Structure 1
Amino acid sequence: MKIAVIGGGNGCFAAVADFAEAGHQIGWWRRNGPQSDASELTLIDHKGSREIAVRATDDLAAALDGAELIFIPTPAFSQEDIARSLAPHLRDGQVIFLAPGSFGSLRMAQILREAGCSADIALAETGTLPWLARKQGPDAVRITTRASRLPTGVFPARLTDRALEIIGRAFPGVIERSEDALSGALMNAGPIIHPPLILMNAGPIEHFDRWDIHNEGTQPSIRRIHDALDGERITLRETLGYTAPHFPLRDHYETDQWMYGNLAHDKLVGSGDWHEKLNLDDHRYMSEDIAYGLALLVSVADWAGVDVPVAKGLLALASAVTGRDLRHGPRTIEAMGLSGLSRAEMTELLQGGKLSLAGAAA
């Protein structure tokens, strides 16, 4: 099938290479088009190195034309602008897949409707990027490992069967059904794994030119904070009526049952690709995983009446580090116009997709 890939980051490179090698037709949109004269990507993984014929375009309409799946593995802070760009070009039956989403499935749906898009589409989001990957230059990507399980929620949930069938053709055998888009958003691993790693490693991050938060930075005290924070996420999911599996982060470190499967953490550390320069002010671990993902979790917990002291503490620390009030950021349910909904109204919105319930344009 034809898959449109939106963006030019690590996940986009990995997606384009894997989808093309699997035989899919690729429409790859980058805002500034190709970044070199090359018409190939070099894919490096456990099989070795090989060239994949593919080329980016700055023609969004051409990239989207005929695409059944629109794959967007870009940071959450890019989603609103991307939605506005997509709005004139979307057609009935297409599926947008965010990896991950930070509840971007619902926010992008709001933006699309506000922009006058009436296409009957589904928007889905999963709990992690489907690859542990890093670019190795302007035309190369190394994939350390691939996801083996991708819990995925769909907005509106009434379109889940159709959406997961299409997504499953791009990711055969790994897509797992989540109840709805909020369930999918609360599977997002980034707001659980990264805030303790960057905030509790702030000293060495600022002192050393490069620092591996997953190797030297993953110490027992930090793992205990991970588990406490993840326990709050799981309690929130259970309070909202979402059922297991909840994909506890502990499984990433201790078992082969998490999203990336066997020895994923060891492979990540062994690659050396995450021994890198981090800027606490603008790295996506702060600007996405905390400012969007963790702020969303805290806002949903407040709405649901669930106590999340570790999440709130980390969010307060991040606000102090950046000098910005991250609790009242753009991806909280207050900012999305959802905080006045009852539990029943939220369920109706997530199932049926009638955005007027949230005060957005229908």
Structure 2
Amino acid sequence: MLITVLGGGHGCYAAAVDLAERGHCVRLWRRDRAALLALRAEGQVSLRDHRGTRRVGVGGADDRLQVCEDLAQALAGAALVVIPLPSTSHPALATQVAPHLQDGQVVFLPPGTLGSLMFAQAVQASGNRARVAFAETGTLPYLVRKHGVADLVISAYATRLPTGVMPARLARQAFAVLREAYPSVEPIEDVLSAALMNAGPIIHPPLILMNAGPLEHFPAWDIHHEGTQPAIRRVTNALDEERMRVREALGYGAPHFPLADHYCNDGEPWMYGHGAHEQLTDSGDWREKIDLLEHRYMLEDTRLGLSLLVSVARWAGVATPLASGLLALASAVTGQDLYRQGRTLENLGVAGLTREQMHGLLNDGPGA
């Protein structure tokens, strides 16, 4: 299958290399042309995971992974477009991508923070009438870190990816494409259900806010290792309970993928299966300097992800005092109104919809 991967982050390189290694023809595009050309000049990526270390060719005549400098050319003819970028990139990228999408394509945002709606709205605004399916899930398919231009370490692969499609009426066709690339995809109701599976806004805001002192004091701190203490886990579990109450209030069924399962080595496997938390902490790749004003855990998972949870909860009539409190605390830390800046139903222009109208939007897409 011809797959286009957009972006140059950790998850983008992981997707490009993994999909190429599994036999797909992959085009990689990123806005940073110099970095793209540097990767082509390397001619290969070193990949280390649980199977050992190996090299995957890039740009050669016989290589399945090619780099592409032109966005329109990168998208042309691709059955699947994978965008494993932070949600902060969505507004600008959606506008760039929208005019070039073609009939029958599937655009996958892992995870999306309801970015599927933003991309669908951008396509409508561009005047493009192509029949495109947008899909999103609750986490990246990989726990991964890049080390340099062409050195990649994947600590874990997702084994379960609960995924929704917009418009939901195109779900059958979309899942046929998605599963060819990611067999771990599990169909769920729609993209709002998928957005409420996003683990980032549950795990990261408590970790960065309750570790704010060490993060500002030490040159590097691993919030997933020494930063994950019992008190913080209790807060994370309580925040996740709020997320699951919102899902239930909207009629979304189990499994809700409680984050507590991520830390267990038995019982129901979470999105990365059993033992993934230990694989992450053992790697040492998450010991880093986190700037509370600039890091994506604040700009993406808190400002966008947590604001979306609070917004949907308000729309559904569900109290989320912990989510609202963490968002207020983060706003005080950053000196900005993160809810006002957030990816809320208000900012997406759909807060005034009734539940019936929202169901119609999710099923048929904007402008239907």
TM-score range normalised by the length of the shorter chain: over 0.9
Deviation string, structure 1 residues 46-68 (Cα, Å, up to 9, x no partner):
11111111242221122112110
| Aligned amino acid, residue 150 of structure 1 | L
Q: What is the match of residue 49 of structure 1?
A: 53
Mapped pair 1:311 → 2:323: yes
Q: What is the match of residue 171 of structure 2?
A: 160
**SS at structure 2 position matched to 1:223:** helix
Report if aligned partners of 1:20, 1:53 keep a CA contact under 8 Å in 2. no
From 181, 185, 189, give the equivalent of 1:179. 189
Mapped pair 1:242 → 2:252: yes
When structure 1 is superposed on structure 2, of 137-146 and 107-116 the one drifting more is 107-116
Query: Could you tell me how far apart the structure 2 residues matched to 1:261 and 1:134 are?
Result: 19
From 308, 312, 321, give the equivalent of 2:333. 321
**TM-score of the two chains, using structure 2 as the length reference:** 0.95
Task: Describe how 1:1-362 pairs up with structure 2 within 5 A.
Answer: 1-33=1-33, 34-36=36-38, 37-54=41-58, 55-172=66-183, 174-255=184-265, 257-353=269-365, 355-356=366-367
Report if aligned partners of 1:147, 1:261 keep a CA contact under 8 Å in 2. yes
When structure 1 is superposed on structure 2, of 33-42 and 281-290 the one drifting more is 33-42
Query: Could you tell me how far apart the structure 1 residues matched to 2:245 and 2:343 are?
Result: 21
When structure 1 is superposed on structure 2, of 325-334 and 313-322 the one drifting more is 325-334
**SS at structure 2 position matched to 1:288:** helix
Q: Structure 1: any 5+ residue segments left out of the alignment?
A: 357-361
**SS at structure 2 position matched to 1:133:** strand
**SS at structure 2 position matched to 1:277:** coil
When structure 1 is superposed on structure 2, of 251-260 and 186-195 the one drifting more is 251-260
**SS at structure 2 position matched to 1:63:** helix
Query: Could you tell me how far apart the structure 2 residues matched to 1:51 and 1:227 are?
Result: 40
Quote the sequence identity (%). Answer: 57
Report if aligned partners of 2:240, 2:258 keep a CA contact under 8 Å in 1. yes
Query: Could you tell me how far apart the structure 2 residues matched to 1:235 and 1:35 are?
Result: 47
**SS at structure 1 position matched to 2:253:** coil
Q: CA deviation at 1:255?
A: 3.8
Deviation string, structure 1 residues 49-88 (Cα, Å, up to 9, x no partner):
1111124222112211211000000011111211111122
| Aligned amino acid, residue 239 of structure 2 | L
Query: Could you tell me how far apart the structure 1 residues matched to 2:219 and 2:24 are?
Result: 40
Q: CA deviation at 1:35?
A: 4.5
**TM-score of the two chains, using structure 1 as the length reference:** 0.96
Query: Could you tell me how far apart the structure 1 residues matched to 2:53 and 2:37 are?
Result: 21
Query: Could you tell me how far apart the structure 2 residues matched to 1:2 and 1:271 are?
Result: 32
Query: Could you tell me how far apart the structure 2 residues matched to 1:200 and 1:75 are?
Result: 22
**SS at structure 2 position matched to 1:125:** strand
| Aligned amino acid, residue 244 of structure 1 | A
Report if aligned partners of 1:330, 1:336 keep a CA contact under 8 Å in 2. no
**SS at structure 2 position matched to 1:297:** helix
Report if aligned partners of 1:27, 1:62 keep a CA contact under 8 Å in 2. no
1:108–1:330 Cα change, 3 Å: farther
How many residues are paired up?
Answer: 355
Q: CA deviation at 1:330?
A: 4.1
Query: Could you tell me how far apart the structure 1 residues matched to 2:186 and 2:255 are?
Result: 10
Q: CA deviation at 1:32?
A: 2.5
**SS at structure 1 position matched to 2:274:** coil
Query: Could you tell me how far apart the structure 2 residues matched to 1:115 and 1:88 are?
Result: 6
**SS at structure 1 position matched to 2:331:** helix
Query: Could you tell me how far apart the structure 2 residues matched to 1:330 and 1:88 are?
Result: 25
| Aligned amino acid, residue 270 of structure 1 | D
Query: Could you tell me how far apart the structure 1 residues matched to 2:20 and 2:162 are?
Result: 23
